[in-house]
Structures are given as C-alpha cells and as structure tokens.
Amino acid sequence: MNPLIKTALFVLLLLSASGATHSAESTALGNAGKGKQLYYAHGCYGCHGYSGQTGARDLVGTGSPLVASEAVFKMFLRQRGELSPMLPVTRMPNYARSALSDTQVHDLYAYISTFKLDAPALEQVPTLQNIVRLAGKPYKP
C-alpha cells in the first residue's frame, strides 16, 4: 500500500478512536517562542533538523498529514507505541501528557508551523547546476 495512504488511514483511525475534532485550542496560536525552546530541549531537531527540513524525518514540504493540524499532531504524539522495544529504534517517541502537556504541545505546534521550505530551484543554485552539468561529461577511466 502506498505509504501516504497508509499514513492517512492511520490518522483517520487515530481521530476516530479519540473522537478528536478541530478543537478551539488548535484554532488559537500557541506561543512559538516557548515552542522553540521545547523543540530544542526535547531534541526534536535530532530527527527533524533545526528547521524541520533535514535529517532522518523532515517535516516541511513532505505533505505528511501528521502535521497538517494540531489535533492530529497531538494525537500522533500521544498515541505512539508504548511497548518498550527489545532492539534500539529511532522512530518517533511517544509523548504522554505527563511528559509534554497539552499547552506545551500547543506551543510546539505553533513553532513547527513557522517552518518554511527552503528548497531553491535547481536553476537558482550554481552548485546544483554544476552537478547536473558534470553528469553530462563522458566517462573517463
């Protein structure tokens, strides 16, 4: 199954299981400044990069429904697997309310919502153009 479809189905399942809808909380902006502190303190940059665009799990420009709304985002944080793995994994951690309050999630979401995609067109970056040009050069043993 297409991974995006699988993710969308997972999100729908989360929403239906929790009865979550767009809450008033998600319509009011959180404190992005506090969210930034949380992003650093909890090491979110570890997988998502300092601006959500690099690393193992970039956030920006991926079309992931998991960050499309705060309600989904919160459900995702809360309902990650809670069984301790026998082997080390680097998947998204679970965030229980005791570890990250609703208010903190609200602020965190506000911060990651400020991330903007920095992906210039290939034509705008001489280095990238150069790489394409080099690919056209004939093979030299």
Partner 1 sequence: MAKHNGSTGPLNRRGFLKGAAGAAGGAAAVALGTTEQAPAAASAAAAPAPTPAQLDRDAGFIEPALPPRAAVRPGSDLMVQVLRDLGIEYVASNPGSSFEGLQESLVNYGEPPNVRPEFITALHEETAVDMANGYGKAQGKPMCALLHGTIGLQHGSMAIYQAFYAGTPMLIIAGRDNGFIQAHTADDMGALVRSYTKWDAQPKTLAESLTAIQEAYRQAITPPCAPTLVILDTELQKEEAGTMQVPRYLPPVIATIDPTTAREIAASLLAADNPRIEVGQLRTPEGVALAVQLAERVGASTSTRATAGPMSFPQRHPLCGPGADTRYDFRLGLEVGPADVALIGPRVASLHTLRDKGGIGFGGLRAANAEASAPGEAIKRSIALDAEASLSLIIAAVDAAITPAQRALITSRSAKHASANQEAYVSGLKQALLVKRKGWDNSPVSTARIYAELWPLLADEDWCLASPSNFSGSHHRELWAHNKPYSYLGTQGAGGMGYGAGACGGAALAARERKRIVINIQTDGDLNYQPGVLWSAVHHKLPLLTVMHNNRAWHQELMFLQYMAGVRGRGTDRAHIGTTLRDPFIDYAKMAAAYGMASEGPISDPAKLAAALVRGIASVKRGEPYLIDVLTQPR
Q: CA–CA separation, 86 vs 26, rounded Å?
A: 36
Q: CA–CA separation, 81 vs 93, rounded Å?
A: 8
Q: Which stretch binds partner 1 (CB under 8 A): 7-15, 17-25, 37-45, 106-114?
A: 37-45
User: Could you tell me the smallest distance in angstroms from the CB atom of residue 113 to partner 1?
Assistant: 17
User: Could you tell me the smallest distance in angstroms from the CB atom of residue 71 to partner 1?
Assistant: 20
Whether residue 60 contacts residue 67, with contact meaning beta carbons closer than 8 Å, is answered with no
Residue 4 found at the interface with partner 1 (CB under 8 A): no
Q: Which stretch binds partner 1 (CB under 8 A): 3-11, 20-28, 56-64, 67-75?
A: 56-64
Q: CA–CA separation, 77 vs 95, rounded Å?
A: 5
Residue from 55, 68, 103, 114 in contact with partner 1 (CB under 8 A): 55
Residue 33 found at the interface with partner 1 (CB under 8 A): no
